Every structure is written in C-alpha cells, then in structure tokens.
Structure 1
Amino acid sequence: MSIVLTAAPTSTAPGLLLRPWRDEDVEELLAAYRDPVLRRFTRRPVDTTADAAAFLRRSRQGWAAGRRFSFAVLEPGPDGERLVAQVLLKEFLPGRGHAELGYWTAASARGRGVASRATVAVTEWAFARFAAAGLTRLELLHQVDNPASCRVAEKSGYAFQEVLPARPPFPRDGHRHVRRHR
C-alpha cells in the first residue's frame, strides 16, 4: 500500500509519518502493547508474535476490503523511525455518512501532541478521500475514565456529542465526540 500521510513538526516535537503497517513492525508493536495503560483501554491485546501477526493480517485485510484503514504512526529518532502510535479509520461503508476513528499512543509518546496531530492527519485524509462516497461525519469514542482521549478529541476538532451507556465489551460509560466534514 502506498498511502503515506505526514503531520508537520511543532516547535517541541518532530514531524510524524503515518503509513500502513508492515511485517517488520512486529517487535515495536509488541513493545507498545506491554504498556499497562494501553492494555487497559484495548479490547484485543497483542501479547505474542502470533497476536502481532494476526493484528497485521487484520490490518492488511481491512485495507484490501476498503473498510478499515490502520496507520502505524512513526517519529524520526537518532536510530531511525520509531513507532509512537496507531490511528485507525474503521467501520467505513460507502454511502453511509459516518465512520469511526480510533487511536492509541505508545507510552513514550504521550503528552507530546502525537495523538492529536496523527488524528488530524487521518481525519483530513478520510474526508478528502471518502467525501465523494458520502462520508460527512467521523466519530471518536472513548470510556469516561480516559480524560486524555477527551483532550485528544478536542484538540483534533472533535466536539463532545454525548455520554454513551456502558455496553459489552466496554465496562464503563463512554463519550462520543464528532467531527463533521466542512
């Protein structure tokens, strides 16, 4: 897949590169999922190389089906690029006006604007690519006990819409944030 997105650097952080996942991302993916904060908010942990292979397979299948677009978010470092996050456009169906955007951030990248900059990049790409297919609204959902996700949503232009009641597999109420195509 040749889609590569970028997020510009800030005065305190380098630029970001967003691209589809690759097989060589396995070790960094496993390392990111060792973080207990990330594991607390994920439904499908990646604990083994078999889990990582399944993650990458689902990512490729989503791209191939044109319904689920998972981006590895990379940041340049002294030893080359390193994985700092994932942003995912999911539940896209042509003709349906909305889809969902999700993300996670590696522990080493939190608090530096990585998630909001990457979210904006994927949001803008999604509207540019799928507006003609009817996409007019993106939703970002998170549990109420994740205030960092509220801040990311707001910084990314997603307005708070409503509180959602808890439902399996989510044990707590959630927030729905919405960004509309302009």
Structure 2
Amino acid sequence: MLTSAATPTAPALVLRPWCAEDVATLVKLYRDPELRRWTNSRTESEADGLSWVRDQEQGWTAGDRLAFAILERTLDTAPLRLAGNVVLKEVAPGKHSAEVGYWTAAQARGRGVASRALKALTAWSFDTFQADGLESLELLHQVDNLASCRVAEKNGYQFDRILPSAPPSYPLDGHLHIRRAAA
C-alpha cells in the first residue's frame, strides 16, 4: 500500500492493489464518457469489472503489471472512496524502462488526484526497482489529452517525442514523456 499526504486543498490518498470489492464501483465509474474516451478497456457489467480486476491481480502475481486503486477520503470521518487507477507496466528485472499510466474518476478530476498518485507511484517504482536496473519511466497519452500532459510535466516527465497513431487502439498521435531516475 502507498500513500500520498494531504495538502491544504486536497485529502490524503491511499493506493492499494485492486480487489473484487471494487467491481461495483468500477463499473459505475466506467459509465463516464470522459473516462471511456481516454481508456481502451470497456467495463460495462459486473462480469467485465470482475474480469478487469482479475487481470490486475494476475499482473501482480506475474510481477509485470502493478495496478493500484486510488482511494481518497473527502472528509476526516468519511470512508475511503475510489478515485482512479495508477499502474506500473512492463517492469522486469534487468529491463531499463517501464511504463506508467493512470485514469481518474469524474468526481476526482481537477483536484490533483492523478498528479499526487503518479508522484507516489513514481517514487515507489524507482525505490523498488532501480536496484534491478530500472532507469526510466515512460508515460504515453494522446496528443489532445492536455490534462495528462500537465500531470506528466508536473511530475518531471519530460516530453520526448510524438508517437504516430496506431488504430484502432490508438486512433490519434500520442506524446511520449520520460522520467529518469535520480542519479
């Protein structure tokens, strides 16, 4: 489990692996057209949601795709609420780079949730895997996703280049941002 401290304007975040108890909320979050615009997966039913969560659990078991549910507490006494996803992909011993990704729920956008979760994931990734050879993290997003571009830049992921579209999964050109481990 990872955490991101509260700020004067935002609650603390808890990042933990996905579990079956998240499925119903996950399905509700995927009804958001904006979320569906930026993600490739479709989670329209409880069965789809459970399949998605099981895929995330398999990634943890294999050790190559480490996805975290982002949870936030909006009030001191309120229960934690699912606010998004942040993931480290394609990590392996001896491999010099891995990829990060994220999405946020509609109610969590514009409040720094993605940025704070990415910051926690980035620090954890380098702390955990740098000794195994991890030197850089890559972040990809569509060129028209300006919010993701801001999150990347805010977290020290430097713009590297434009990647050509690859329909149908990637219908538009993309940006590649790279964050290198501190020396």
Range into which the TM-score falls when normalised by the shorter chain: over 0.9
TM-score by length of 1: 0.96
1:9 corresponds in structure 2 to 6
Cα distance, 1:119 vs. partner?
0.2
CA distance in 2, matches of 1:102, 1:32: 17
1:115 corresponds in structure 2 to 114
CA distance in 2, matches of 1:50, 1:129: 33
TM-score by length of 2: 0.96
Aligned runs of 1:85-164 on 2, under 5 Å?
A: 85-164=84-163
Of the three residues 34, 38, 49, the one matched with 1:37 is 34
- Spell out structure 1 runs of 4+ moving beyond 3 A: none
CA distance in 2, matches of 1:45, 1:94: 31
Q: Number of residue pairs matched?
A: 179
Structure 2: state its 5+ residue gaps: none
Instruction: Give secondary structure in 1 for the equivalent of 2:80.
Output: strand
Q: CA offsets, 1:39-85, max 9 Å, x none?
A: 01111111111111111111110000010000000001354010011
Instruction: Name which of structure 1's ranges 10-19 and 71-80 shifts more when overlaid on structure 2.
Output: 71-80
- Percentage of identical aligned residues: 56
1:53 corresponds in structure 2 to 50
Q: CA offsets, 1:102-141, max 9 Å, x none?
A: 0001000101000000001001101000011110000000
Instruction: Give secondary structure in 2 for the equivalent of 1:77.
Output: coil
Cα distance, 1:93 vs. partner?
1.9
CA distance in 2, matches of 1:31, 1:180: 36
Instruction: Give secondary structure in 2 for the equivalent of 1:47.
Output: coil
